[in-house]
Amino acid sequence: MYLFLRSADINDAATILEWRNDTLTRDNSFSKELIDFDTHIKWYESKLSDESCSLFILMDGAEKIGHVRIDTVNDIGRISYTIASDKRNMGYGKKIIELSEKAVSSRVKVLTGIVQSSNEPSKKCFRSNNYAEFFSGDIVSYIKII
pLDDT of residue 37: 87
Check residue 112 and give its pLDDT: 97
Write the pLDDT tens digit of every residue in 82-131. Answer: 999 999 999 999 999 999 999 999 999 999 999 999 999 999 999 999 99
Q: Total structural domains in the chain?
A: 1
**Cα 65 to chain center, whole Å?**
12
CA atoms within 13 A on the CB side of 105: 10
117 sits in which H/E element:
none
Q: What is the dihedral of CA 143, 50, 103, 41, to 10 degrees?
A: 100
- Report pTM: 0.92
Statement: residue 28 has pLDDT above 80: no
The average pLDDT across 37-56 equals 94
- Structural domain containing residue 108: 3-145
Domain of 21, CATH number, reads: 3.40.630.30
